[in-house]
Amino acid sequence: MGEQLTKFRRRRAARKAFEELDRRRDMYIVLHYSCESFYDIKDGRTPRVTSIAARNFTTGQTSSFSIHKSAEQLRVPLADVNQRYDELERHMLDEYFDFIKSRHGYSFIHWNMRDINYGFQAIEHRYKVLGGESFTVDDSRKFDLARELINQFGPGYAPHGTSGRLHSLMELNRITARDALTGQQEADAFDAGEYVKLHQSTLRKVDLMSNILERVLDGSIKTTASWREKTGYHPAVLVELISEHWVWSILVGIVAVVGLVASLKELF
């Protein structure tokens, strides 16, 4: 299969995925979390989680789980958070997994949460490390918005830059960046113990992701993708689609038979 046809089919599959999401939007939750920077960890352990936000895509109602909220509930002074971090993280993840387990049938919209460094697996692993009985979200219930945007519009839909495509989309669509930290800013906030700031950033990002998704679904999203990248149409695609169609195969067969008959007539 040709490269252009593969891209075309990938875009078509992404459009169908977005359409299916739109039909069942009441069963989707936008999920995002912040954590310790995995680039700065030297001992091989997974990054500590600092905050998680889960926003119902239809209603906008948002549940959140964070280190500073757990500290407040357990009456731990902010000055003692670092010394009791594991205890507070376990408390936060207890609440998070109780929430996840209660959302039967829901799917989760996320941004690049797909591996042990940053993703569902990372959260599940942290919980196990802290002695919790983890719950695995099935891959069929995960909708990676970042990946589907690339499938739909191509990798050129927004510049990656130093802050990532999410922040670039924010600028392209004139969405306010209030409270939304970049990856480096989140790492700095963690090192400085600014857990409230990290929580606010996580809340802002689920709101931002919902905003972007709404624009994708209603067709108003602004990107830097070219017309060809957006549509997936290319002369090579047309040729390959025609060549794969059964009608084309029959026509080629007929032409071949006619040519063979003509050749036989010339011989006899």
Look up the CATH number of the domain holding residue 18: 3.30.420
Interatomic CA distance for residues 17 and 142, integer angstroms:
12
pLDDT of residue 238: 46
Matching residue, tokens 């936008």: 30
pLDDT for 21 beyond 50: yes
Query: What pLDDT score does 5 carry?
Result: 66
153 and 250 together in one domain:
no
CB count, 10 Å around CB of 57? Answer: 24
DSSP 106-134: -EEEESS-BSSSSBHHHHHHHHHHTT---
What is the predicted pLDDT for the residue at 174?
93
- Specify the pLDDT at position 45: 77
Is residue 7's pLDDT more than 80?
no
Q: Do 194 and 173 fall within a single domain? A: yes
Going by pLDDT thresholds of 50, 70 and 90, the confidence category of residue 84 is very high
Which residues contact residue 131 at a Cβ distance below 8 angstroms, ignoring those fewer than 6 apart?
A: 90
- My answer on whether 122 and 142 are in the same domain is yes
Domains held by the chain: number: 2
Question: Which pLDDT band, with edges at 50, 70 and 90, does 87 fall under?
Answer: very high
Q: Are residues 108 and 177 in the same domain?
A: yes
From first CA to last CA, the distance across the chain in angstroms is 41
Choice among 31-35, 197-201, 262-266 with the minimum mean pLDDT:
262-266
Q: What is the pLDDT of residue 237?
A: 44
- Give the pLDDT of residue 241: 46
Range of the structural domain that residue 246 is part of: 235-267
Question: Do 61 and 174 lie in a common domain?
Answer: yes
What tens digit of pLDDT does each residue of 36-70 get?
A: 887 777 667 788 999 999 999 999 999 999 999 99
Cα–Cα distance, 153 to 226 (Å, whole number): 8
Residue range 144-149: mean pLDDT, rounded: 96
Say yes or no: 217 and 240 in one domain.
no
Q: Are 37 and 187 in contact (CB under 8 A)?
A: yes
pLDDT tens digits along 217-229: 999 999 998 766 6
Do 214 and 243 share a domain, yes or no? Answer: no
Beta-carbon contacts of 93 under 8 Å, excluding residues fewer than 6 positions away, are: 49, 65, 123, 126, 127, 130, 132
pLDDT at 252 > cutoff 80: no
Shared domain check, 240 and 222: no
Same domain, 134 and 203: yes
- Assess whether 182 and 239 both reside in one domain: no
In the predicted structure, residue 264 carries a pLDDT above the cut 80: no
- The pLDDT value recorded for residue 244 is 53
* Same domain membership, residue 20 and residue 125: yes
> Residue 134: what pLDDT?
81
What integer pLDDT is reported at residue 262 of this predicted model? Answer: 53
Kindly state the average pLDDT of the residues 187-192: 88
Considering the domain architecture, whether residues 122 and 180 belong to the same structural domain is answered as yes
